[in-house]
Amino acid sequence: MAEKDLFSQVNRPEDPDNMTDLEKKHLPVIDAPDKASAGETIQVSVEVGKLLAHPNEPAHHIEFIDLYEDEVYLTRADFTGGKVNPKVTFEVMLTKGGRLRAFCSCNLHGVWEGDKLIPIE
């Protein structure tokens, strides 16, 4: 099988129950409440390398973490590859309920997406 071109797509684990080391290193893991109320501000943490540490140095690092609610862009955190781990906590107010989607970009391995469903009560 030909090697996948990680830069020609948004990457996701092919089998979430049996992830490769590459997938574990790059999957943005979302930590947030399992549900929320309309108008409620919730804390949403996103960490890359939670399942398996990702390198964090100028030559190989996570460049940013973006957060979306479904198709709506919410916010971004940028990283330098310096002495800052690619983990961030946002305070967000969800409007529709749905899928929180976190995207991260590795300078060597492309863009990766992780998600979490958060119904609005």
The Cα–Cα gap between 102 and 104 comes to: 7
Work out how close the CB of 101 gets to Fe ion at its nearest, in angstroms, rounded to a whole number.
Answer: 19
User: Quick one: 63 or 99, whose CB is closer to Fe ion?
Assistant: 63
Which residue of the chain is nearest Fe ion when measured via CB?
Answer: 106
CB of 31 to Fe ion, least distance (A): 21
Residue nearer to Fe ion on the CB measure, 92 or 106: 106
Q: Residue 30 Cβ, how far from Fe ion at the closest point, in Å?
A: 19
Whether the Cβ atoms of residue 31 and residue 72 lie closer than 8 Å to each other: no
Nearer to Fe ion, 52 or 120 (CB): 52
Using the minimum distance from each CB to Fe ion, give the nearer residue, 43 or 80. Answer: 80
Which residues form the interface with Fe ion (CB under 5 A)? 106, 108-109
Q: Name 90's Cβ contacts closer than 8 Å, sequence gap at least 6.
A: 43, 44, 45, 46, 67, 74, 75, 77
> If 0-12 CB within 10 Å is exposed, 13-18 middle and 19+ buried, where does residue 51 land?
middle
